[in-house]
Structure 1
Amino acid sequence: MNTPLDFVVPTGEYIAEWCEENGWTQKQLADRLGCSPKHVNKLIHGTAPLTVEFAHRLGLVTGTPPDRWMQIETFYRSELLRLAAAEKRECVIETLDRLPLTLLRSSGYITATKRKLEELLAQVFSFYQVGSLAALDKLVTQPPVAVAFRQSAKNDWAARATWLQLVEIEARSVELPAPYSRSSLEELLPRLREQTRRPPDEYGNFMVEELAACGVRLIFVESVPRAGTYGATRLHEGQPLIALSLHRKSEDQLWFTLFHELAHVLLHDLSGGGFVSGEWGDDSCEAEANAFAAEQLIPSVYAHRLAGLRTLTEVKEFAAEIGISPGIVVARLHREQLWPYDRGHGLIKRLRLVRTSEGSD
């Protein structure tokens, strides 16, 4: 008697296997297929369906007939539906209600609604890369990896797991031009700090490109509601990955989090593979990263003068003297309770995450 499988393998696993066997990167495959690397990444991880037209493209590039690609895709989708149908409806609804489905739908990762429950669950399985309801429920109710988040009643694990999965998807579409170089990263720190004086729409590309030259992936993934995440760091394909969310969308949070995450890269062992939160936690690694970020932005040789700042003019003059954005000085005054939080906010630049258009095929 044949025993039904209790897991499913995305069509993309076979695409990834072909790339590995032939020494191709996802970007090289995307170039040959005439689509974006992000679309290839979605195919590989099952978050985008394989169409007949795209199967023909794959056939031309890989030499595997298009009908074979479609057979694999049809089997994968049917198995997802079979597994979904086997789960109790009430358990499915309970788990789905924990997820930010509206966000995933607006981002194009899912299209189905609860009226087509089996199809919706199949799409959710594909996004979170799980093969059963039990695995999905575990993922969204407890830490998926070693993460040290700042606790808040407004935050939940489902939102955090979703943000981490979005980070993972985005990271796979980014290739680095150079291996990681600790010395190059240390040399870059002063030039990164100088960027705080520039307008926000000018320093984003600088951050990404300069860190890439040091072998560090930097990606921006918008915060998920209730996730409470500022940033995260881990190794990805053997090289450091930093993800920033622009949570609270202010320059001081961005720069503090960036230097906090760089501290994890420079000072801590990331070989365990788990994410390390960019929020202000209280364990030893977090405290060390906080101290590193504070020192990089406003060195201790100047910090003793903060208590003497009384006016916005004095803040601007002090910031110009030490080569930092005035908004970062104001935020430090707030954090050390030297100024009330309703004072000086006009000097803190607000940020926004600009979405770039992506072609799928």
Structure 2
Amino acid sequence: MINFQPNWTSSPGNTINDILKNRSIEVPVFAKKIDESTDLVIKLIEGSIKINNELASKLSNELGTSRSFWINREEHYRSLLKVNQPKVMSNWISSLPIKDMIKFGWIKDSNNLEKECLNYFGVSDVYAWYTKYTNTNTLSFRKTETYKSDLASIFSWIRRGELLSNKYPLNEWNKQKFLDSLDEIKTLTREKNPKKFLPKLISICSDCGVVLAIVPTPKNCPVSGVVKFIGNRALIQMSFRYLSDDQFWFTFFHEAGHLILHNPENPILEIDKKVIDEKEKEANDFAQEVLIPYYLKEEMMKIRGNKKKIVGFSIKAGVSPGIVIGQLQHLKIIRFEYLNGYKRRYDWSDINETLESLKLS
């Protein structure tokens, strides 16, 4: 029997999730016990599918509750939806970056924005969205008051990467192959134009089972990147924030570090942070080591602001001058406002043209 009182204003999926957590049962294990797919159980927990008589019987047999409990639980929840849905839906729609979602072509500008948004997120109703996206395990990043109001925009941005991932070849994640490819990827940092390096970068990543999705950020989405797993593939999603070579490449190798070092169970989001946790520090160190190996660090520190030496050192290190300048700024060897003119700047028109040619926009 259930040893706690369920919250009847939440979805039946929340009750199922609470019971599984209370009994330390993993979702795949539970799915096997009730002879259903893991994907179905996830959707059940999210509230995306309804509990029918067959599912109610399976839940009853495995969780020690009556079949009528789950039928009544489902009916009670759905009745609440009908009463509260209009107000909740209106609040949800107003929280989303609708103008940018339309501008970027993520949704259509129609008379039924509710349906457009539900289809975009792949949920049956707004309550299923809240169940899916407000779970405390949905993201791994430092949560502060500053970012709470941005979550709807952040989830909208992440969802676009998930949808784009379906356009990529279905190669399985291969950690060793990806690690071995980083030296080849590093040579692309010296390419000036995204039209040249993006197709090569995307192809190398795809061959290793890594989806590299480039997605512009909507309003109130202060994100540079996110890394997560979608089934047996890895996703690195980047926003090209700041449109400079040092920021783009450091973020890429930082995300690569998360994949290789941490094999994250939950998405790890990159937002400008003053406080760096252990995993973030490890990913930073990984990116720095790939770009400027430790044995070259002392030599780089001595360059200081000498432009000629920076160019010569960048050739020796096999990276662009902008990356060297970015590292010197990060280490406070030179001021952040110094030598930024030597960084390569990107243009969204080049990026979009490249993605459109690859059919990945």
Residue of structure 2 equivalent to 1:34: none
The unaligned stretches of length 5 or more in structure 2 are 1-10, 13-79
2:227 to 216, 233, 236: 233
Q: Give the whole-Å Cα distance in 1 for the aligned partners of 2:333 and 2:343.
A: 16
2:323 to 328, 352, 358: 328
Tell me which amino acid in the other structure corresponds to 2:352.
V
CA contact (8 A) 2:96 2:152 kept: yes
Q: Give the whole-Å Cα distance in 2 for the aligned partners of 1:357 and 1:219.
A: 14
Give the structure with the higher percent helix: 2
Task: Tell me: CA distance 1:150–1:203, structure 2 relative to 1, closer, same or farther (3 Å).
Answer: farther
Q: Give the whole-Å Cα distance in 2 for the aligned partners of 1:92 and 1:162.
A: 16
CA contact (8 A) 1:98 1:158 kept: yes
CA contact (8 A) 1:109 1:123 kept: no
Q: Give the C-alpha shift of residue 310 in structure 1.
A: 2.5
CA contact (8 A) 1:181 1:214 kept: yes
Task: Tell me: CA distance 1:203–1:149, structure 2 relative to 1, closer, same or farther (3 Å).
Answer: farther
SS in 1 for 2:283: helix
1:288 to 263, 278, 282: 282
Residue of structure 1 equivalent to 2:90: 93
Residue of structure 1 equivalent to 2:269: 277
Q: Give the C-alpha shift of residue 241 in structure 1.
A: 1.7
CA contact (8 A) 1:220 1:243 kept: yes
Residue of structure 1 equivalent to 2:103: 106
* Correspondence 1:253 to 2:250: no
Tell me which amino acid in the other structure corresponds to 2:105.
G
Identical amino acids, percent of aligned pairs: 22
Residue of structure 2 equivalent to 1:194: 187
The unaligned stretches of length 5 or more in structure 1 are 1-5, 8-82
Q: Give the C-alpha shift of residue 129 in structure 1.
A: 2.1
Runs of 4 or more above 4 Å deviation: 83-90, 137-144, 149-152
Tell me which amino acid in the other structure corresponds to 2:141.
A
Q: Deviations over 1:90-119 (max 9, x none)?
A: 443332221100012223343356xx4xx2
Q: Give the whole-Å Cα distance in 2 for the aligned partners of 1:152 and 1:346.
A: 35
* Correspondence 1:121 to 2:121: no
Q: Give the whole-Å Cα distance in 2 for the aligned partners of 1:246 and 1:217.
A: 16
Task: Tell me: CA distance 1:91–1:219, structure 2 relative to 1, closer, same or farther (3 Å).
Answer: closer
Q: Give the whole-Å Cα distance in 2 for the aligned partners of 1:149 and 1:246.
A: 21
Q: Give the whole-Å Cα distance in 2 for the aligned partners of 1:112 and 1:87.
A: 25
Residue of structure 1 equivalent to 2:260: 266
Deviates more, 1:95-104 or 1:223-232: 223-232
Please list, as runs of the form range in 1=range in 2, the aligned pairs for 1:215-230 lying within 5 A after superposition.
Answer: 215-230=209-224
Q: Give the whole-Å Cα distance in 1 for the aligned partners of 2:250 and 2:358.
A: 30
1:164 to 134, 158, 178: 158
TM-score (norm 1): 0.67
Q: Give the C-alpha shift of residue 171 in structure 1.
A: 0.8
Task: Tell me: CA distance 1:100–1:142, structure 2 relative to 1, closer, same or farther (3 Å).
Answer: farther
Deviates more, 1:232-241 or 1:147-156: 147-156
Q: Give the whole-Å Cα distance in 1 for the aligned partners of 2:357 and 2:290.
A: 34
CA contact (8 A) 1:280 1:287 kept: no
Residue of structure 1 equivalent to 2:313: 318
Residue of structure 2 equivalent to 1:343: 338
What's the C-alpha RMSD, in Å, of the aligned pairs? 2.9
TM-score (norm 2): 0.67
1:306 to 300, 303, 323: 300
CA contact (8 A) 1:167 1:243 kept: yes
Tell me which amino acid in the other structure corresponds to 2:339.
G
Aligned residues: 273
Q: Give the whole-Å Cα distance in 1 for the aligned partners of 2:173 and 2:82.
A: 46
Task: Tell me: CA distance 1:164–1:149, structure 2 relative to 1, closer, same or farther (3 Å).
Answer: farther
